[in-house]
Structure 1
Amino acid sequence: MQGINKPVMFLFDKNEEFEGVLVSAELWRKIEPIVSPYMEGETTGCAPTQPERPEPMKDWDTLVEYWDFAYPVNYEVTCDECGNSTPNWIEDSPRKFRLLSANLGGLVNFGCTKCQAKITKKHFKDCIESSTTPFCDEKDPKLNAVYG
């Protein structure tokens, strides 16, 4: 498909009226300081800030309610990337880790508030496996969605 790697794409509505311009992240980093005075509101950095999603505590509560593992509920979380650790993530104030997802099968994901790494805890019948995935600011182009 041609045109995907262009630094600028012109956008038109269904009536072929000009709507706007889509620029690549690389070009945006170059032009943001120039165009930001003309934009409504302020921009900081090359990516817009996302509002923080609420933690899915209802999913965690469901997992705890139906807990049938051979060990008690485990609230301990450790980030192998930066060393951030807590014996009970729910009781921390402020939170050292934010719950990102939890499911009834025992898969639980946390985000480290210190380094933004993702901590995955897989609860099996007799054990827990924990892994840490470092935060990556750069996106893998092979994982980008392409619409035809």
Structure 2
Amino acid sequence: MQLVLLALLSLPTLAFAQVSDPTPLQFRDAAEETRFHDLTSELRCVKCQNQSLADSNAQIAHDLRREVLELMHEGRSDAEIKRYLVERYGEFVLYRPQVEGRTWLLWFGPALLLLVGAVVLARILKRRGGTALPDDDGQEW
């Protein structure tokens, strides 16, 4: 009876278990391995969002690393692999999105915001420039 109860209690934890392929990635040579690690460090995990594909332990990251290696074995270039992943997951998968019309705000927005802030600050300081501070009457508060 206790064994049945223990088995029933373990069922919810099994529902969250992830099945992963236990076989390690097979590289043809050290150059391919270096290229793979460089490429996966430039790609973002679509689940974790703040981790690279190389650093993430999410199941989808494992799957995407295998897919990247398969694409490399097919002879695709890094640009082709990135384009393929962008088509599937959007620009979000790239840590450094391409500079194009729809990403201008992403690339130049911070500088534009800083410039607008500097103009506003300069106007405020210019308006206050005419008023002098009152003389110190020597009292302590």
**TM-score normalized by structure 1?**
0.29
Query: TM-score with structure 2 length normalisation?
Result: 0.30
Higher share in strand: 1
Flag the structure with higher helix content: 2
